[in-house]
Amino acid sequence: MSAQNITELLASWGAGDSAALDELLPMVYAELRSLAAHELRGHARHATLQPTALVHDVFVRLLGAERVAISSRKHLFTTAAKIMRQILVDRARAQSREKRGGGSWQRVDFIEALALPIEPNTQLPALTEAIDALRKLDPRVAEIVELRYFVGLSVAEVAALVGVEERTVYRDWALARAWLKAELER
């Protein structure tokens, strides 16, 4: 297989001669498969992808292109290597998305995650009793619960109103959540 023959076949294929592609594929397939094996060797994340499948994906992308403008053997292999890397990057991104929940998980803001663990069927009198009991233990924490949960103030607003640092409000809010959850479950 000479570089000249491959270049001529690439030119014919680029001009629309599908027979040239049929003649070209067997000439370059083994080298492309070797290139695919080399690309896969350094990527343990793609253990399920075989070199043959990667080469086939490359050809699918090349054949799916509107106009093939590959001018030489070197150009064919550098283009194939770029396509292989892009396929591997796309697969890694897809796996990463799935691993981290993909579209099925919903991102929740840190503030929202600190919401009180109150079941929909919790009676307001039971919650009031729990907050009154909390007030006996720590009046500031009970006040923070009231301001956050009932009034709907932000952490910054509560901190300014109560006269403490925001991180103190976060800490007290987390403590109140845990304490109220245990109290309401009794």
The tens digit of pLDDT for each residue in 51-99 reads 888 888 888 887 776 666 777 777 888 788 888 888 877 877 777 665 5
Residues of the chain with pLDDT under 50: 110-111
* pLDDT score at 161: 87
- CA dist., res. 68 & res. 56, Å (int): 16
Determine contact, residues 172/140, Cβ cutoff 8 Å. Answer: yes
The pair phi, psi for residue 144, each rounded to 5°, is -65, -40
Other CB atoms within 10 A of residue 171 CB:
14
Can you say how many angstroms the Cα of residue 139 is from the centroid of all Cα atoms in its chain?
Answer: 43
* pLDDT score at 110: 47
Q: Which of 154, 149, 179, 155 is nearest to 167 (CA)?
A: 155
pTM for the whole structure: 0.48
Q: Which of 150, 141, 126 is nearest to 176 (CA)?
A: 141
- CA dist., res. 169 & res. 72, Å (int): 67
- What is the rounded radius of gyration, in angstroms, for the C-alpha atoms of the chain? 32
Place of tokens 């370059």: 28
Q: How far is CA 53 from CA 31, 112, 156, in A?
A: 14, 45, 55
Q: Does domain 110-185 have CATH number 1.10.150?
A: no
- CA dist., res. 50 & res. 54, Å (int): 6
Check residue 102 and give left, alpha or beta (phi > 0: left; psi -120 to 50: alpha): left
Burial of 70 (0-12, 13-18, 19+ CB in 10 A): buried
* pLDDT score at 133: 92
| 3-state secondary structure (DSSP) of residue 136 | helix
